[in-house]
Structure 1
Amino acid sequence: MTAAYTLYAKPGFTATTIERLCSEARISNRAFYECFGGREELLQALHERCVGESLSVVAKALQDAPNTLDGRVRAGIRAYVEFTTADWRRARIMHVEVRRSGDVLTLSRQRAVDAFARLVEDASADFPPGPRLNRRLLALGVVGGLQELLIEWLLSEDQPDIDELVAVAVHIFHRSLGTG
């Protein structure tokens, strides 16, 4: 898993063969197949671990946040952005390589998006709704916007500052949900 964490981030999922994974991990191909059915299954395990860890970090931040909508929004978004960007490999696996894997990880990715959208819905549930739009769809839009901001952070030559990412994501959240 450690070798895949690095190799799937760079040179990337599509460029990483099982032979290269096994060589980097200093294990045999047979040992690899005793643990995983293929490199897609390994990417799924890595992705799900990263998602699970980030969900825990965000849930803790929301629990400790001030009991205001803005307090929750800022705490949750900052926790996610800081946790995700603390290790570029994590950000790359969660937001770039999982997409490059094609249909193989579509379900895993959708489960992650759904989990984060539920966090957005739950964090804002106690506060008066803004526009009479479907809160679930708005939450999905907010999650998608944050993902695109993180992809920009990963791929841009002029990498945006973390504080700027957080400020833009908070703005998107408030504008999308009609709360700011």
Structure 2
Amino acid sequence: MQTATESDGDAGPRIWGGTTLSERRQARRAALLEAALDLIGDSGASGVTMRAVCRKAGLTDRYFYESFAGRDELLDVLYRQVADEFLEPITAFAAAEDPSRARVPAEILVDKVLADPRKSRLLLVEPYSGTGFGRTTLALLPEFTRIMQDHLLGHIDDPTKRRLAAVTMASGNAGMFAAWLDGSLCAGREQIIEHCVATLTAYRSLYRC
């Protein structure tokens, strides 16, 4: 039931069923993103099409194009959204000053990877699958690499060596988690945590006299 009417000027937004037009648009956008995430969890990014997303969300293509210009934009927005969620635990892990303090952030990071397999697959597996994430991944990789440079490898004075170490660390861990998630790396949670701590220790000692 419509509880108020929308008019131009200062009359305020139209309310329908207790929500404004803007709120309904945001809800539809969120539903489309969640539907895409479900599809990625089920069959990977190759299963994400406009029609499949709309069907999953229970919306028409009209509402899809209300929020996104196309599939690529939806995937770009979704990838950035999930990457933002992982930035904090990645930063905390990289900032740990010694192995005794590295275990807790390593546990948080590993548990974050395990918490939602859909998001972890999106962030760590799909960029390597060639299904439309190349541009977005390249745009975000410098941010993850910068975290490594600033928090993990600041003791390396030579900028080239620091960059080499940061790129290797960032891409190596991403590859490790990707292999773990897709089942090609058989290891338990505790083994992954111990490896992360050992890797952190090794990189902290890199180029240190």
Shift of 1:62: 5.5
Which residues of 2 match residues 5-154 of structure 1 at below 5 A?
5-59=37-91, 61=92, 68-70=97-99, 73-102=102-131, 104-125=132-153, 128-129=155-156, 134-154=161-181
Greater relative contact order (Cα < 8 A, sep 6+): 1
Distance in 2 (CA, whole Å) between partners of 1:113 and 1:78 is 22
- Residue by residue over 1:135-160, the C-alpha shift from the partner in whole angstroms, topping out at 9 and shown as x without a partner, is 11211111111111111221116742
Offset from partner CA, 1:95-121 (integer Å, 9 cap, x none): 12233244x432321232221221112
Percent identity for Structure 1 against Structure 2 = 24
- Shift of residue 15 of structure 1? 2.4
Question: 1:77 offset after TM fit, Å?
Answer: 3.9
2:173 & 2:152 partners in 1: Cα distance? Answer: 16
- Asked whether the 8 Å contact 1:47–1:93 carries over to 2, the reply is yes
Aligned length: 175
Unaligned regions of 5+ residues in structure 1, if any?
none
Counterpart Cα distance in 2 of 1:131 and 1:70: 24
Higher mean displacement: 24-33 or 71-80: 71-80
Q: Which structure 2 segments of 5+ residues have no match? A: 1-32
Contact 2:40 2:48 in 1 (8 A): yes
Q: 1:106 to 1:113 in 2, by over 3 A?
A: same
Contact 1:131 1:177 in 2 (8 A): no
Q: CA RMSD in A?
A: 2.9
Q: Residue 22 of structure 1: CA displacement?
A: 0.4
Q: Which residue of 1 aligns with 2:35?
A: 3
Write the distance in 2 (CA, Å) between the matches of 1:11 and 1:47.
16
TM-score between both structures, scaled by the size of structure 2: 0.71
Decide whether the 8 Å contact of 1:6 with 1:89 is kept in 2: yes
Distance 1:98 1:58 in 2: 18
Offset of 1:69 from its aligned partner?
A: 3.8
Distance change >3 Å, CA 99–CA 33, structure 1 → 2: farther
In proportion to residue count, which structure has more helix? Answer: 1
